[in-house]
Structure 1
Amino acid sequence: MSNQESENAGTLTPEQRLTPANLDLRRACIVTVPDVETVQACVAYENAHQNREPVLRRLAQQTAELRSN
């Protein structure tokens, strides 16, 4: 991922990351979350709106990956 792509990925809102109907696109939006704070915002959004267990699990995995790096 280029610096520009990484910078643009950090500007997506939780709603933009979690509402794509296409599962692959939604997964890509989650794995490009740049920091734990953004993951937490996405979890809060998901809990308030959809509360989908697979999405919450993937967000938890992303948090673990960010913390291990």
Structure 2
Amino acid sequence: MASRDVMANILSSFYSKNRFYEGQIIRVGDTKGQIIRMDNTSLTLQTGATVTVIPLQSLQSQNVEVFD
């Protein structure tokens, strides 16, 4: 049961790798920032003075706004 969330994040990374990249500015839900790192399970956003780590499955289940 515990690995279900990890597996969902890994599958989400497969679908998200081509859509999102480091340096891109996005908003996931209410959080807006620049992607500074993306691995197999999470996305790290620089959100002003703080850093926010978002599980990749959030990219599949929430609205994502991309700013170019």
Query: What's the TM-score, normalizing by structure 1?
Result: 0.29
Structure number with the higher helix fraction is 1
- Which structure is higher in strand share? 2
- Scaled by the length of structure 2, what TM-score is found? 0.29
